[in-house]
Chain A
Amino acid sequence: MSYSIGIDIGGTFTDIMCVSYEGTAIIHKILSTPQDSSIGFINGLKEIAELSGKPFNNFIAEIDTIVHGTTVATNALLTSKGVKTALITTKGFRDALEMRRGIREEQYNNNFKNVAPLVPRYLRFTVNERIDSKGKILKKLNEKELDLIIEKINSEKVESVAICFMSSYKNPIHEKKVALYLRKKLKNVLFFPSCEILPSIRFYERISTTVVSAYLGPIVGNYLDNLLQKLKSIRYDGKLLIMQSNGGVVIPKQVKKNPAVTVLSGPAAGPTAGAFYASLLNYKNCIAVDMGGTSFDASLVTNNQCITNNEGSINRYRIALPSLDIITIGAGGGSIGWVNEGGLLQMGPQSAGALPGPACYNQGGEKPTCTDADLILGYLNPEFFAGGKIKLNVKKAINAINTKLVPGLSLSALEIAAGMYKVINSNMAQGVRQVSVERGYDPREFLFIVAGGAGPIHASEICTELEIPMFLVPNVSSVFCAAGMLLGDLKHDFVRSYFSTFANLNRKKFLNLFTSMETEGIKILMEEGIDKNNISNFPVLDIRYTGQYHEVSLEVKWEDVINYELEKISDDFHKEHNRLFGYSLKDEKTGLEIINVRLRMICRNKKPEFLSESKMSVDPADAIKGFRNVYIPEIKEMKKIPVYDGDKNIFNCLIKGPCVIEKITTSIFVSQNYDCQVDNFGSFIVYDRAKYPEGYRGVCRDTVLRVSV
């Protein structure tokens, strides 16, 4: 017996999924320990060991791999709790970091402030050196200049230093020299030269990303050291892998080199899990959403791949590393309802959070939230929230709406609750639209996977608005990301700038860039204990029409790179441009140019199988807990409908809508126009009856379904 464990440590909960290679799974949720997450990590292992029924030491010895998603970096960045950081840059460019190219995101808001730079101006030092855009040294570096900076770093007790020079993407020699010199002189300070973080053109992107890494470096480093120490003390000698923002996993040593890769470590497993569940239903494309207490994350998977881009930022700090395209909007169970001056109902982005929480939690919250509306509408069971651990107070919920919203809207509390439900669903639909329609994809062609505690109550309305015919609630919905972590592959991204028109491309140079990235990647993967033969290469070219400024990141085949199939690549580019922007310039014979070459190297990990637990299914009729009044959006009124116990063993059956299916960790609302099938993994497939008149025939194709009455 050997185990794989996924541990997703968030702000409130630590989610754990433990899977044996025989396929049995243990799901567990405990409270996080934000003062030191590694305590919760070890506590989690202890509780899982108990649940497995094995002595702790034996259990630990049987763990093969632990994959870990952490919000340590995210939270340090969001709450400005990084270390004291300095920046060394080219003379004349002291302020690029803070200027952010002169943007003010809210143009009409004169109270809107610039974001505080991660390195204040007095810790931004310049050096009189210069390399031009062709890589030529115009002003040679004089290391002596650094001695003054060393003094300041010492006197200011700086812990971490970013180094970013103009044109270092083209020629990193000065950055390397500075790093070498300073690393020798300052043993207790970490140094992050931009050529080791993001060696590509665009100064602002590079300097910002490098500074984020430096700012988080010691925090992430200490956390990982601490965790490794604790794991050592409990005699864990399996593998520890860390989830990165790009959806892949790496060993801790790599994370310490470039800590900015973990800023999305938490939600990054969502799309990976999504891809897995989609593949179970033979879908290659899916949209995965996760609705929690304050936020709603949405991401897109195409061709079993999670989409990544380089356009991310967190809290207005630009991080130009490949990162999963996860859209986060302020919509969750705690989102507060309010009326604007024009008399229109709005939801969020303000959230009541965990404290005071929604009014119905009865912890002093007075503002009406999404959860309050869900309760009034009957989607939530006041006696069975979190399996009955939290009792919900309907009166408080109604009272909050009566005091805060009724005066502005002149509608009944029920009508307003229905409105809140609709508005927040529409906000989330916009989030889904952002990851799909605005990227040129039609959401109707995707499997819609809904996770998180609050998501499955709202999913059918989101689907209706976007005309998505069905959605899936996975059996591990509540620990979705922890499950996704067990499915992550080792993944490394490399980039080199190569500025050239296609016509002038130098074949040898082009190929050399790819082989140099490949060599670097193989070296790292070998350190991670990977067999060379299990590595796959996924090249990407950043291409644009000559004269354009912004490039399209085009995925190409490794064979096409090696065989230098430029014509084929050009054709693919024209097609992609047309798909994204509604036109191509193929017929005009407009030339192409290349900006960067990228290589993603992936090593497929051994995956545990999430087998069904092959228990006998009960008759759906026996799973009915009772009936209650629930709001049906199609007819805009409350109606008495059945409530099923989703934690009973109901597999391979068809449950007709409208109904509510209650689990301890989540509730699913199946609306009037929908039916629900439970597959043999215990996942719920909810579909629009009119679009599948014969019933959805995905997973359960060959099985005779037990049908509810």
Chain B
Amino acid sequence: MNIDKILVSVLQRGFKSITDEMSISLTKTTRSPILCEAKDFVTGLYDAEGQMLEQTENLPILSFSLGPVCKEIIKQYQNDIFPGDVIIHNDVFTMGNQNNDVAVFKPIFVNNTLVGWSAAKGHQADIGGAVQGGYNPNATEVWQEALRIPAVKIYEKGIIRKDVWNLIFANIRLQMVQEDIKAQIGACTLGERRLHSLVSKHGLDVFHSHKQDLFDSTEKIMRSEIKNIPKGTYTGKSMVYYDGKYKGSKFPIHVKITIRETDIIFDFSKSSIQTKGFVNGTYSSTCSAITLTFLQMVNPSIPHNEGMLKPLKYIVPEGTILNASYPAATTFGNHLCPQIADAICKALGKAIPDKITAGWNHLLCSLFTGIHPDSGKKYVDICFLGMKGGSGAKMGNDGYDHIGMIDASGGVLDQDYEMFEHQTPHLLLQHEYLCDSAGTGQWRGGLGTETKILMGGSDTTMVVFGDGDVEPPYGLFGGRKSILNKIELQFKNGKKFVPLSKDIVQNIPNSTVYYQIAGGGGGYGNPKKREKAKVYEDVRNEVVSNKMARKYYGYAKT
């Protein structure tokens, strides 16, 4: 068949507008602030074989597992797929990335032929398991973390399977999660309608051949990007601290990257074996982390589809910390992304020093649960606004201030302050850039933040998960490292308590002050070479102190 190159462009934009529309719908209809305020979700379209057509990746770490799960579903159900079916999935041992990230898939038929799938995956406020909200630092097995949902139909030919639905939600604490799954199904229905009309309009043959051409042309772009990287083998290393079980424990991550003529191999075989706790990656979360890191080093306008992924090869052996074997606990796995990114940046620093960044701030985060006195009901909130530090600097650019973890790269938003005070019983006292939090350099790191919250309500529990309180983000080529993360509870009686980086603190009394520092990013290049005007600007804006300016930038106030 003749390929109409123009139609290929039209289709690509068409797919993108569909996944964007699904994303807008989810933002507007979901209830958990994790979804509607922070946008911790992704929407996507896949072809009949589960190959990615396009995605809207608010939180990229979730994104690159949807295609693999779709392929699993197709393998599992084979011909037992019908219009009106809806399949739900979260299982990390069949390509899911994290237990809390629950996906909904809807098959799309045109003239009784399966042509594709629409999917939406979001981080649910609760998914059963021992601890509300899912993050259980004491977990050693998956069942202590979550309800496992392998691919299962919750709608069959358009009719809800009440028995299955009830079984699932009988094991989940919050009613809200049911509503949010309904919103995800709604988004998939929008995607189904739109892809259906697009494919019907052009006909199946045209759709197939032009979709394939889109994949091929995208693959070509990615291969030419890889061709620009000097061929060779590069190694990098980073460290994960504390598995939630053994204080002081640490686990190295090693990567060997081989750049060949037109493809790239990421080999993590030499990384640590899996931990006893929940600090373990899944195959999907690790591949997502690799992909999203590498995408930041190539042309950002590459269309996101299966073709983009073809030249990327992953070696992540089972049993390692990045691909724990059944039935390990893995909820922390998404948050190994910063360390995976660090190892990759360090490795490729020798090959493409102008494309990589210095160290990003690592996630350290709190999840609050408790009773809101106004409603008498439970609330769950991830303290997004407190956790977002700065990104690492790169050649030619300062890091991005208060962007947050590299897994999201600015796709996850702070709660609005006034909405936060309505939805939770807490009072926000401070949320500002922290002076001297960024690593110095010719290009400085992004700024970190300082947050203070006066805790209210009752039955308040705080679950802490993260890292970055032992080793600060590194600087590059003469740029300096930045500062550590910190969380501290300041009790009314004057006592202070610093939780571990994976911890649960229960019954936090009213009027306790929650204090958090999210560090900045690492600097790039010799700070003495920094443009004087920029140093002056930073000092005037009080994000770099006079002392620091004198010490590192050779600046003296005139």
Chain A contacts to B: CB under 8 angstroms: 91-96, 98-99, 101-114, 120-122, 132-133, 138, 166-167, 169, 201-205, 340-346, 409, 419, 422-423, 426-427, 430, 433-434, 437-438, 465, 499, 545, 547-550, 552, 577, 580-583, 585, 590
Contact = CB atoms under 8 A, between A and B. Distances in A.
Contact of A110 (B179, B384, B391): B391
B217 A110 contact: no
A107 B419 contact: no
B177 to A, nearest CB: 11
A547 B414 contact: no
Given A93-B432, A95-B432, A99-B402, A342 B220 contact: yes
Nearest to A120: B541
A95 B217 CA distance: 43
A111, A205, A409, A590: most-surrounded residue (chain B CB, <10 A): A111
Nearest to B391: A110
B13 A345 contact: no
A156 to B, nearest CB: 11
Contacts of B334: none
Given A93-B431, A107-B408, A169-B418, A581 B9 contact: no
Interface of B: 5-6, 8-10, 12-14, 17, 20-21, 24-25, 27-31, 33, 36-37, 57, 60, 176, 179, 182-183, 185-186, 189-190, 194, 217-218, 220-221, 224-225, 292, 295-296, 299-301, 303, 357, 384-385, 388, 391, 394, 396-397, 400-404, 408-414, 416-419, 421-423, 427-433, 449, 452, 540-543
Chain B CB count within 10 A is highest, among A94, A205, A438, for A438
Contacts of A499: 422
A342 B416 contact: no
Contacts of B29: 548, 550, 577, 581
Nearest to A581: B29
B28 A419 contact: no
Chain A's interface: helix, strand, loop or mixed, by majority? loop
Contacts of A104: 400, 403, 409-411
A422 B403 contact: no
A341 B418 contact: no
Contact of B401 (A99, A340, A419): A99
Given A114-B400, A121-B541, A549-B37, A201 B429 contact: no
Contacts of B541: 120-122
A168 to B, nearest CB: 10
A52 B25 CA distance: 53
A681 B86 CA distance: 54
Contacts of A113: 397, 400
A315 B30 CA distance: 28
Nearest to B452: A92
18 contacts: A92-B429, A96-B417, A102-B413, A107-B57, A107-B410, A110-B394, A111-B396, A111-B397, A113-B397, A114-B400, A342-B218, A346-B9, A437-B194, A548-B31, A549-B423, A577-B29, A582-B25, A583-B182
A112 B397 CA distance: 9
Contacts of A552: 28
Given A95-B432, A110-B397, A122-B542, A102 B421 contact: no
B2 to A, nearest CB: 12
A343 B37 CA distance: 38
B542 A167 contact: no
B414 A548 contact: no
A583 B542 contact: no
Contacts of A110: 296, 357, 391, 394, 397, 400
Contacts of B27: 550
Contact of B418 (A101, A138, A203, A434): A203
A99 B388 CA distance: 11
A434 B221 CA distance: 28
Nearest to A92: B430
B17 A409 contact: no
A167 B357 CA distance: 39
A344 B5 contact: yes
A102 B410 contact: yes
Contacts of A433: 17
Given A102-B410, A102-B413, A342-B218, A122 B431 contact: no
Contacts of B190: 581-582
Contact of B221 (A108, A122, A340): A340
Contact of A94 (B182, B384, B432, B452): B432
Contacts of A581: 25, 28-29, 183, 186, 190
The 8 closest A-B CB pairs, nearest first, are: A104-B410, A92-B430, A342-B217, A121-B541, A109-B300, A549-B36, A107-B409, A342-B221
A549 B427 contact: no
Contacts of A132: 421, 427
Nearest to B11: A426
A112 B428 CA distance: 30
Contact of A92 (B14, B189, B428): B428
Contacts of B449: 95
Contacts of B413: 101-103
Given A107-B408, A409-B5, A549-B31, 18 more contacts: A94-B433, A96-B431, A102-B385, A108-B296, A109-B296, A110-B296, A110-B400, A121-B543, A133-B421, A138-B427, A166-B417, A202-B416, A204-B417, A340-B221, A344-B8, A422-B10, A548-B36, A582-B190
A101 B36 contact: no
Nearest to A548: B31
Given A92-B432, A114-B400, A550 B36 contact: yes
A583 B186 contact: yes
A13 to B, nearest CB: 31
B397 A549 contact: no
A133 B296 contact: no
A585 B30 CA distance: 13
Nearest to B218: A342
Contacts of A114: 400-401
B419 A426 contact: no
B312 to A, nearest CB: 14
Contacts of B179: 545, 547, 585, 590
Given A92-B431, A96-B417, A549-B36, A103 B217 contact: no
A582 B414 CA distance: 28
Residue of B6, B25, B31, B452 with most partner-chain A CB within 10 A: B6
B422 A133 contact: yes
B5 A201 contact: no
A109 B300 CA distance: 6
Contacts of B430: 91-93
A664 B86 CA distance: 57
A582 B5 contact: no
A544 to B, nearest CB: 9
B520 to A, nearest CB: 13
Contacts of B433: 94-95, 98-99, 121
A580 B28 CA distance: 10
B9 A426 contact: yes
Contacts of B12: 344
A209 B36 CA distance: 22
A199 B352 CA distance: 50
Contacts of A98: 401, 433
A298 to B, nearest CB: 14
A102 B388 contact: yes
A203 B6 contact: no
Contacts of A580: 25, 28
B347 to A, nearest CB: 17
A340 B300 CA distance: 12
A500 B313 CA distance: 53
B28 A550 contact: yes
Contacts of B189: 582
A430 B13 CA distance: 8
Contact of B30 (A106, A340, A427, A549): A549
Contacts of B431: 92-93, 95-96
Contacts of B221: 340-342
A499 B421 CA distance: 12
Nearest to B13: A430
